Amino acid sequence: MYSDKFKQLFMYPRYCRDIDYTHTAEVVYPEHGDKVRIFLRIENYVVKDVAFKAVGCPRVIAASEAVCRLIDGKHIDDVKYLNEEHVRDEMDFHDKKFTCINAPIDALKKALAKVQ
C-alpha cells in the first residue's frame, strides 16, 4: 500500500524537530485524531527554516514531512500555491480517500496568513 518514498518520509522525518520560529499554526482533525503544528522561520519573505510536530496516522506524519521538504528555502509567494497534489506527489501516495493529508497544508496556510 505504501511506497518506499512514503515509508522514508514517515519513518525518518528530518523536519520533526525544534527550531527558533517566527510563525506557527496548529490544525486538529478531531474526527481522525490528527494534530499538526507547523513552525516557520521566515526572513525577507523566504522560509529559512521549517519544522513540524504531529500526532496521528502515518499519512499525517509523512504529509507533514513532505510539506516541510517542499517549502524549505522557498519564497512565501511560491509556498502559498502548495496544494494537496504537490504533497501527494512528494509522498508518492495517491489514494484520495484519505483527506488527512490536508492537515499540514491547512496548518501551513494558517501560519502564512500571519505573515505581513
Task: Please write the tens of the pLDDT for every residue from 29-87.
Answer: 998 899 999 999 999 999 999 999 999 999 999 999 999 999 999 999 999 999 999 99
Instruction: Find out whether 57 and 100 touch, Cβ atoms under 8 Å.
Output: yes
pTM for the structure as a whole:
0.96
Q: Count other Cβ atoms within 10 Å, centred on residue 74.
A: 16
Write out the three cell numbers for 22.
Answer: 517566527
